Amino acid sequence: MNCLSTGLHVLWAWTPLFEPLHMDDYWLWFILPLAIGIAVVYKAIRMHRLDRLLHEAAYLATQIVVFMVLAAFFIWLVTERV
């Protein structure tokens, strides 16, 4: 509840385009729309027909996110445990 009210306060005080969005605490979540955007554009260009665009784009976006999580885990392993 506290987190929600803080978020609402941040949004209330925010002037779009003229002020940056203060997102230091949850910036990692912004990778998801990025991955989805990349997947949709890539598949829209590559596919001959767009019937299965959403399915294919969702699959590719999942692959991107999973690969990034695995890469992050590997880097964490190397830097923290080895």
Partner 1 sequence: MVLSITGDSGVTPGSLWAVIFVIQIFAFANWSDGPWPGLRRRLHYRRYRVCQRPSARRSGSVKKHPSDGQVISVAPPMGLQKRTSILSTPNEPTWRPMAAGLAWLAPGLGHWWIGDKARAVVLAVSISALWLGGLLIGGFGAVDSKQNQWWFVGQMLTAPSVAVEGMQRTGVIRAKKGPDDRGLLTYEPPFGRSAEQGVLYTALAGLLNLLTMIDVLYRDPPPARALALKPGVAR
Is residue 55 part of the contact set for partner 1 (CB under 8 A)? no
Among 1, 13, 17, 82, binds partner 1 (CB under 8 A): 17
Least separation in angstroms between CB 9 and partner 1:
17
Among 30, 59, 73, 74, binds partner 1 (CB under 8 A): 30
Distances (CA, A) of 65 to 5, 14, 30, 57, 73: 29, 29, 11, 12, 12
User: Which residues are CB-contacts of 57 (< 8 A; sequence separation ≥ 6)?
Assistant: 36, 39, 40, 42, 43, 44
Is residue 45 part of the contact set for partner 1 (CB under 8 A)? yes
